């Protein structure tokens, strides 16, 4: 040993220190064993046990090796044949919708809700009015109505809402979140009249033979209202976020996204985070119209680290609307009329190309990650042009840009995504909820290519997948199911060639979700050194029959080694 020190003292001391660390390393806080462990780590796809200490994974491998980390105080969790997977990373949702789902009427149709006709929608609004004791003059709000699924194939009319709620303003938000039906009182409060021009990129429905608004507002006609929608604030809002986060935790989500954050929402999320009440990580994406306020007039930039489980991870821009609302922008006409009866309708961009170009350049110049909502192929063309313009002649330079949804992407656009390092966050849950509607609106060929997970992966892209909560219910298991099965409500297959394997579908909501935020080195797979963000599932999604994946249950959610949600035991 003396000769070794004399020959290479620095190396020898380092070796001795390393040996000492192994010998004196603290025992694990928890060890998980007793069932399949799907690591989502290609270097070590499976394991028998995992050890956790100080919130991180310290050992993954055979049970014999991992149990060497057991100490007197180590808790050993027996899976009992259940399956351990990485914590789910949200590819796109709206965390602030936790307030909406607790304070507004759920007006969705089965299986997401119970509304089968217009009367059911009005009844749901009545129930929330009574539950929240919303007296005269108070807003009554609902969300999730889908006219394609109601018996009348239309929303409640302004007149029906006026008759049911003569003393209250009503805002009934479309399932897409991109528009709403308003009654006369709400229209008056927001100053929408016969003299109100339809804004560029927006839709204002009009009464037949008149310029009088019929209550239907979409896109840029709805956006100013959406940004000012009344709702809980202050301590009430913080309390609702605190309790509502269980919706994410019970779905196994350990990293969530707030996908279009207004300044007052940033402030409320900071408040709950600074109180230490967030149990999962939340990534905020300030909306493009809010960046001057959020960044105090400076160029937008990501926050590299979480502060009390909260950080800004990019900026959100919108280029078009929704395909199910028939406001997504396409290069070819819809097979059906527009939402206000427009003929030969292709949808519109949310903002003119020069405005989009300047917005993207501002984001790139500040170094923030760009998250762009784009659904129709014309909107994706607009994103690509804005990216080219803002890149200053370097479109192939990796910037982490994310095409949120990118549902009706063309193959040539997908190839350009690959060449220009743009990552899609797809939305395969649409195959079930809106697949039949897409076939009717866009035709079989385009519908079959929505959210083309397999084609993207074959090009070398690593798309994430998401629910866009509250457009669809939070359900990561069903998100995996739809990527594997791609069946619609009516049972037809929406793009058989774009089905992927259960492992690939799991990757899309774990490691590939982590890549969106530049966090793949510390999240998204079960590997030594990574955060112990984990989920215990009732069954293994890789081995059950694919058609039954949706029946798998989240039993326990673990964030940085600590259980933050656990399925209640069945009654005896």
What CATH number is given to the structural domain containing 29? Answer: 2.30.40.10
Handedness of CA 367, 314, 307, 532 (dihedral sign): negative
**468 in the same domain as 395:** yes
**410 in the same domain as 510:** yes
pLDDT value for 25 = 64
Residue 487 in any domain: the answer is: yes
Query: Which residues lie closer than 8 Å to 461 by C-beta, 6 or more apart?
Result: 414, 417, 418, 423, 424
pLDDT value for 22 = 36
Strand 213-219, strand 253-261: pairing: unpaired
Residue 550 in any domain: the answer is: no
Tell me how far apart the alpha carbons of residues 422 and 413 are, in angstroms, rounded to a whole number: 10
Go through 56-66 and write b for each residue having 16 or more CB atoms within 10 A of its CB, e for each that does not.
bbbbbbeeeeb
Residue 457 in any domain: the answer is: yes
pLDDT value for 1 = 31
Question: How many domains, the chain?
Answer: 3
3-class secondary structure, 534: strand
Tell me the mean pLDDT per 10 residues along the chain, length 572.
33 38 68 98 97 98 97 97 98 96 96 96 97 95 95 96 97 94 96 95 94 95 84 92 97 98 96 97 97 96 97 98 96 96 95 97 98 98 98 95 98 98 98 97 98 98 97 97 97 98 98 98 98 98 98 98 91 64
Q: Which domain holds residue 20?
A: 2-81
**279 in the same domain as 221:** no
pLDDT value for 7 = 36
**43 in the same domain as 108:** no
Picking from 526, 543, 564, the residue at the C-terminal end of a domain is: 526
Burial of 328 (0-12, 13-18, 19+ CB in 10 A): buried
Assigned token pair, 74: 């180590």
pLDDT value for 2 = 29
**377 in the same domain as 480:** yes
* Phi/psi of residue 279, nearest 5 degrees: -100, -5
Hey, how many other C-beta atoms are within 10 angstroms of the C-beta on 199? Answer: 15
**262 in the same domain as 204:** no
User: In DSSP terms, which residues pair with 315 in a beta bridge?
Assistant: 370
CA angle in degrees (0–180, nearest 5) for 241-245-247: 130
Residue 567 in any domain: the answer is: no
Nearest to 52 by CA among 38, 66, 41: 66
Distance of alpha carbon 91 from its chain centroid, rounded?
A: 5
Residue 88 in any domain: the answer is: no
Assigned token pair, 112: 């997401």
Query: Which residues lie closer than 8 Å to 370 by C-beta, 6 or more apart?
Result: 314, 315, 317, 360, 363, 364, 387, 399, 400, 401, 402
Residue 35 in any domain: the answer is: yes
Q: CATH number for the domain including 104? A: 3.10.310.70
Assigned token pair, 57: 């994974």
């Amino acid at each position: 040993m003396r000769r070794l020190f004399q020959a290479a003292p620095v190396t020898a001391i380092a070796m001795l220190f390393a040996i000492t660390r192994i010998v004196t390393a603290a025992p694990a806080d928890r060890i998980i064993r007793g069932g399949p462990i799907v690591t989502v780590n290609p270097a070590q796809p499976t394991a028998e046990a995992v050890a956790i200490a100080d919130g991180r994974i310290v050992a993954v491998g055979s049970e014999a090796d991992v149990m060497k980390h057991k100490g007197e105080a180590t808790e050993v969790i027996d899976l009992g044949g259940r399956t351990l997977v990485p914590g789910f990373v949200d590819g796109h949702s709206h965390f602030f919708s936790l307030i909406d789902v607790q304070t507004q009427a759920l007006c969705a149709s089965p299986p997401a809700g119970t509304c089968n006709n217009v009367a059911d929608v009005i009844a749901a609004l009545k129930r929330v009015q009574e539950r929240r004791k919303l007296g005269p003059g108070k807003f009554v709000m609902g969300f999730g109505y889908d006219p394609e699924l109601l018996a009348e194939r239309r929303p409640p009319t302004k007149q029906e809402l006026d008759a049911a709620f003569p003393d209250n303003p009503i805002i009934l938000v479309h399932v897409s979140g991109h528009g709403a039906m308003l009654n006369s009182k709400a229209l008056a409060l927001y100053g929408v009249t016969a003299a109100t021009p339809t804004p560029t990129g927006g839709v204002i429905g009009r009464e037949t033979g008149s310029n009088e608004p019929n209550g239907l507002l979409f896109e840029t006609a709805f956006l100013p209202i959406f940004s000012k929608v009344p709702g809980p604030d202050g301590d009430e809002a913080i309390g609702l976020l605190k309790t509502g986060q269980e919706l994410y935790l019970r779905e196994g989500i350990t990293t969530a996204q707030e996908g279009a954050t207004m300044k007052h929402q940033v402030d409320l999320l900071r408040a709950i985070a600074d109180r230490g009440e967030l149990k999962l990580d939340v990534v905020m994406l300030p909306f493009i119209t809010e960046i001057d306020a959020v960044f105090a007039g400076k160029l937008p930039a990501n926050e590299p680290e979480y502060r009390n489980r909260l950080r800004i991870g990019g900026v959100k821009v919108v280029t078009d609307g929704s395909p199910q609302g028939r406001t997504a922008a396409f290069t070819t006409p819809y097979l059906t009329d527009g939402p206000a009866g427009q003929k030969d309708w292709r949808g519109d961009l949310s903002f003119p190309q020069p405005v989009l170009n300047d917005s993207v350049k501002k984001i790139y110049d500040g170094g923030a990650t760009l998250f762009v909502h784009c659904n129709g192929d014309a909107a994706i063309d607009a994103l690509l042009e804005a990216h080219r313009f803002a890149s200053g002649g370097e479109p192939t330079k990796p910037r982490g840009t994310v095409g949120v949804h990118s549902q009706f992407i063309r193959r040539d656009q997908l190839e350009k995504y690959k060449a220009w390092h743009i990552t899609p966050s797809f939305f395969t849950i649409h195959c079930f909820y809106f697949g039949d509607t897409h076939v009717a609106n866009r035709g079989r060929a385009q519908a079959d290519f929505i959210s083309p997970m397999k084609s993207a992966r074959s090009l070398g892209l690593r798309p994430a997948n998401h629910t866009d909560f509250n457009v669809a219910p939070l359900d990561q298991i069903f998100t995996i199911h739809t990527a594997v099965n791609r069946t619609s409500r009516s049972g037809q297959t929406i793009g058989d060639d774009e089905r992927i394997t259960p492992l690939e579908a799991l990757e899309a909501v774990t490691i590939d979700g982590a890549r969106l935020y530049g966090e793949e080195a510390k999240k998204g797979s079960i590997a030594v050194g990574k955060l112990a963000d984990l989920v215990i599932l009732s069954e293994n999604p890789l081995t059950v029959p694919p058609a039954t994946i949706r029946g798998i249950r989240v039993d326990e959610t673990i964030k940085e080694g600590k259980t933050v949600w656990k399925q209640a035991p069945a009654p005896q």
